[in-house]
């Protein structure tokens, strides 16, 4: 088989996706790339700047790549700090990867999208795949562009491009990457460390979420799905549960009775208010069997256990 390339492999999702792909396909068949060398277990890795067409083309020429998981991206909050960089990485970087894939005979490209493609005109609850997508952040603007660009390459060139709109992703192995839902991870980490937390969103801000084991399995499952059964291509809604910061605080108090949160909304609150609170995921369920395992309670239990293990003397060895 040809190699499986993961861009953005040093990020929150990329780190764990590479581990899962290595266990599934063998380390010798995975290539992990990022601007910095990813910390990956024994699989091939290298540096590739997706914003440089020459860098991307050279990397594809030097490797026999069969499929791509294109995760390299600048997320919502960080993208507002440097919108030019976000456009270059998210839009130009994606086009560079698609063009190189086309020239190299790559069979499939998986590009995660985001709930950031939605905007103030989008309905708030049970949002379907086909709805108003008028985002207000550079992250969302570039990601809706990538959804449409992927569909274009599929229609015009028959390049098999697929994607799913990820909600807030919660994980403990790698730090979050500058998104509006990062508070969820920060709050859980603070509770485990016995510290209070200052939340940058209002206590009643409801957003769709997913625990990273389900996110990883969903990404791989969509990539491996029978393309003949897919009606949609690059815009599948996926979400496992939804909650507010206040509800997460209440759940954490079951484990840490003295835990406290102060709410001081900042600019990220404005971003969160443009996103839906719940998603309609029926297209993903019907077309490729989307089936998350973790609800909110199980996620918190697992996060607390793993973070507590990391904090123990044995976990620090």
- Give the tens place of pLDDT for each residue, 149-184: 999 999 999 999 999 999 999 999 988 878 899 999
Q: Name 35's Cβ contacts closer than 8 Å, sequence gap at least 6.
A: 10, 47, 48, 49
- Identify the pLDDT of residue 312: 58
> Considering the entire predicted model, what is its pTM?
0.95
- CB atoms closer than 10 angstroms to residue 203: 16
Mean pLDDT of the chain: 95
Contact between 75 and 139 under an 8 Å Cβ cutoff? The reply is: yes
> Topology of domain 3-168+210-237, per CATH?
Rossmann fold (3.40.50)
Torsion region of 109: left, alpha or beta (phi above 0 gives left; psi -120 to 50 gives alpha): beta
Determine the average pLDDT of the residues in 93-108: 98
* Mean per-residue pLDDT, 274-303: 98
For residues 148 and 72, what is the distance between their CA atoms, to the nearest angstrom? 17
> In terms of pLDDT, which residue wins out, 42 or 255?
255
Residue 316: the pLDDT is 45
Say which residues have a Cβ less than 8 Å from residue 221's Cβ, sequence separation at least 6: 288, 289, 290
Average pLDDT over residues 231-259: 98
Burial class (CB in 10 A: 0-12, 13-18, 19+), 220: middle
Q: Which of 139, 172, 183, 263 is catalytic?
A: 139
Identify whether 255 is a catalytic site residue.
no
pLDDT at position 174 is 84
Q: What is the percent of the chain where pLDDT is above 90?
A: 89
**pLDDT band at residue 38, thresholds of 50, 70 and 90?**
low
For the chain, where do the domains classified as CATH 3.90.25 start and end? 170-208+242-275+295-316
Residue 166 zone, left/alpha/beta (φ > 0; ψ -120 to 50; rest): beta
Q: Which two tokens stand for residue 53?
A: 């067409």
Q: Does pLDDT of 140 surpass 70?
A: yes
pLDDT, position 317: 35
In angstroms, the CA 180 to CA 306 distance is: 23
Q: Are 168 and 209 in contact (CB under 8 A)?
A: yes
Bridge partners of residue 68, in order along the sequence = 5, 109
Burial (Cβ within 10 Å: 0-12, 13-18, ≥19) of residue 300: buried
Question: Which class does domain 170-208+242-275+295-316 fall in?
Answer: alpha beta
Q: With contact defined as beta carbons under 8 Å apart, do 86 and 24 qualify?
A: no
Place of tokens 């403990």: 172
DSSP state letters, 110-159: E--EEGGG--TTS-SSSB-SSS-----SHHHHHHHHHHHHHHHHHHHH--
Contact assessment for residue 290 and residue 221, using Cβ atoms and an 8 Å cutoff: yes
- pLDDT of 148 over the 90 cut: yes
Numbered ranges of CATH 3.40.50.720 in the chain: 3-168+210-237
Note whether 170 and 209 are within 8 A (CB).
Answer: yes
Residues 125-138: tens digit of each pLDDT: 999 999 999 999 99
| Tokens at 20, concatenated | 């899962």
Provide the pLDDT for residue 36: 78
Q: In the structure, what pLDDT confidence band is assigned to residue 222 with cuts at 50, 70 and 90?
A: very high
Q: Where are the alpha helices (DSSP H) in the chain?
A: 12-25, 53-62, 76-81, 83-87, 93-104, 138-157, 183-192, 212-224, 245-252, 267-272, 282-288, 296-311
């Amino acid at each position: 088989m040809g190699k499986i390339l993961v861009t953005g492999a040093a990020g929150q999702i990329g780190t764990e996706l590479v581990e899962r792909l290595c266990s599934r396909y063998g380390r010798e068949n995975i290539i992990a790339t990022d601007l910095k060398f990813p910390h990956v277990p024994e699989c091939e890795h290298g540096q590739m700047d997706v914003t440089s067409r020459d860098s991307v083309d050279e990397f594809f020429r030097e490797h026999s790549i069969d499929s791509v998981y294109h995760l390299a991206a600048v997320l919502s909050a960080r993208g507002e700090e440097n919108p030019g960089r976000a456009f270059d990485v998210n839009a130009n970087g994606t086009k560079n990867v698609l063009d190189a894939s086309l020239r190299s005979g790559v069979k499939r490209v998986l590009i995660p999208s985001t709930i950031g493609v939605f905007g103030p005109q989008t309905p708030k609850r049970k949002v379907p795949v086909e709805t108003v997508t008028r985002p207000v952040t550079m992250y969302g603007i570039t990601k809706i562009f990538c959804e449409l660009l992927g569909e274009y390459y599929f229609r015009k060139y028959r390049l098999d491009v697929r994607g799913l709109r990820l909600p807030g992703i919660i994980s403990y192995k790698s730090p979050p990457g500058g998104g509006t839902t990062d508070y969820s991870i920060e709050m859980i980490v603070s509770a485990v460390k016995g510290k209070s937390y200052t939340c940058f969103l209002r206590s009643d801000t409801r957003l769709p979420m997913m625990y990273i084991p389900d996110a990883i399995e969903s990404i791989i499952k969509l990539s491996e799905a029978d393309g003949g059964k897919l009606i949609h291509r690059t815009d599948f809604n996926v979400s496992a549960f939804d909650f507010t910061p206040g509800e997460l605080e209440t759940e954490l108090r079951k484990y840490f009775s003295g835990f406290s949160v102060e709410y001081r909304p900042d600019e990220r609150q404005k971003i969160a208010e443009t996103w839906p609170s719940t998603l309609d995921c029926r297209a993903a369920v019907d077309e490729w069997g989307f089936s998350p395992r973790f609800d909110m309670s199980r996620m918190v239990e697992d996060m607390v256990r793993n973070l507590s293990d990391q904090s123990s003397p044995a976990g620090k060895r």
